Structure 1
Amino acid sequence: MTRSVYRFEEWIVALDDEPDAEPTVFGAQCAVCLNASDVLADEEQVAHWVRDHAGRHPSHHSYRELIQRPLRAWMPNAVNP
């Protein structure tokens, strides 16, 4: 018979602001047809995509903003996360 031992650890999750962190990027998705913009580093380019899409599809009024931010997870008691 085997016996399992579980050890629960506390983890911290926060935005990754290290110099080598991935950049924060943005996008948009049409909530009507689910078409989405490219992933872009400039929010104004995303707004341009929404205006362009709405212009080509006048009945599409609802959009989702898509944001990818880098996160970092570590255990506070671990040696040098």
Structure 2
Amino acid sequence: MTAHTPRAVYRYGTWTLAPDREPDAEPVTYAMQCAVCEDRSDALEDPADAQAWTFRHAGRHPSHHTYREVITRPWRAWMA
């Protein structure tokens, strides 16, 4: 008996990739992450709300000075 392996079918053509701006697209979200302890804010639609998290976090952890912004932007791919 031979084992069956999964197979994939690829469609060749010219693909386009762009940010998803359809009415049902997920929202762009922003989060801030502490680069010291890796703790992070919730993913929020307003970047200012996410950035405000850093001040609360820094207030609780005065030695945590470095942060990174994490942006989640939905994209769509389609064949032209």
Q: Counterparts of 2:22 and 2:74 in 1: how far apart (Å)?
A: 10
Identity percentage of aligned residues: 56
Structure-1-length-normalised TM-score: 0.79
Secondary structure of 1:35's counterpart equals coil
1:7, distance to aligned residue in structure 2 (A): 6.2
Report what 2:5 is aligned to: none
Unaligned runs of 5+ in 2: 1-9
Q: CA deviation at 1:32?
A: 0.3
Secondary structure class of the residue paired with 1:34: coil
2: CA distance, partners of 1:13 / 1:44: 28
Kindly report the root-mean-square deviation, in angstroms, between the aligned alpha carbons of the 2 structures: 1.4
Question: How many equivalent residue pairs?
Answer: 71
Alignment of 1:1-81 (within 5 A): 8-76=12-80
Structure 1: where are the runs of 5+ without partners? Answer: 1-5, 77-81
TM, length-normalised to structure 2: 0.80
